[in-house]
Amino acid sequence: MVKLDFGGVKETVTTRKEFPVEKAKDILKKEIIAVLGYGIQGRAQSLNMRDNGLCVIIGQDKRFTKNWEQALEDGWVPGKTLFSVEEAAKKGTIKLYLLTDAAQKALWPVIKPTFKEGDALYFSHGFSIVYGDLTGVVPPENIDVILVAPKGSGTSVRRNFVAGSGINSSFAVHQDFTGRAEDRVKAIGIAIGSGYLFPTTFEKEVYSDLTGERGVLMGALAGIMEAQYNCLREKGHSPSEAFNETVEELTQSLIRLVDQNGMDWMYNNCSETARIGALRWKERFRDCVKPLFDSLYELVASGEEVKIVLEKSTEPGYAKKLADELAAMGNSEMWKAGKTVRSLRPDSKC
């Protein structure tokens, strides 16, 4: 393990240097890893583990044609490595519960009876366990309950693995029946291609994740972009100018500098005018938005946000409503402008 010091706050993480893939394979050599759900995370994690030489099977409902056909395309064989969710769960000693949060609630009565003493139940999100009073997901006492949460989409988990890098992940042990839960969870975390693993709890993972998704990672980012774009358009700026100053420069230039060496590095690589203005307005945005984040965190911790998710995701016609909302976003002037701008990039294949 590697000890890190964040300005006086110390943290211990696990890297692939002291926990190599060969060690993970040795720990998991007698396990049958059943990945339940071949969605974005299920596909990425199962392919990465298979490529690392682990015994992996897939549990996927045939009625979800797209996922089933993707599994076939990826080389999973019906009756050998591809089964129904229930059948795969019966076979697996470590069950990776990677269905959607709503599906985890719905299928738990089917999955729970498949556990044998000493099995492990694995999540990539603390949702079902932390909000067990709402989901009904309460594991048996004679199994391990573990979590590895990649800090990126399944698409990135797979892409980075293929490229030879990795996505950092958090890990947690909620229940250690066998005494081997920590070894098991770290082994899977390394096997799915994590860059490094940092410890958390199920509660902290889900609180930070739901706050982040609604905040900086998705909700706040999209909302702030729309606000600035609309402001510029209302003041007479063209769609190209508004989009480039709002999105294109951020995604194609500035955020890459942040990724490279931090926010201060990005500021130091911008003009003096930009630096002075950004430093002054950063304080205003921070002070304005902080109360909103406090409110968001409270709603997440109280379970109110989870109730909304479970209610909306099970409403009749939810899939169509979601498609309509995303289509409205994609068909907005701002993102139509984005499609046009992307097509004009020198390396574009559009």
Which domains does the chain show, CATH number per domain?
2-201 (3.40.50.720), 212-343 (1.10.1040.10)
CA pair distance 79, 94, nearest whole angstrom: 19
pLDDT at 116: 98
Q: Are 56 and 35 in contact (CB under 8 A)?
A: yes
pLDDT at 350: 47
CA pair distance 31, 219, nearest whole angstrom: 39
Q: 8: Cβ–Cβ under 8 A, 6 or more apart, which residues? A: none
Instruction: Tell me which of 50, 95, 105, 125 is the catalytic residue.
Output: 125
pLDDT at 349: 57
pTM above 0.85, yes or no: yes
pLDDT at 9: 81
In the chain, which residues have pLDDT < 50?
A: 350
Is 125 catalytic? The answer is yes
pLDDT at 7: 76
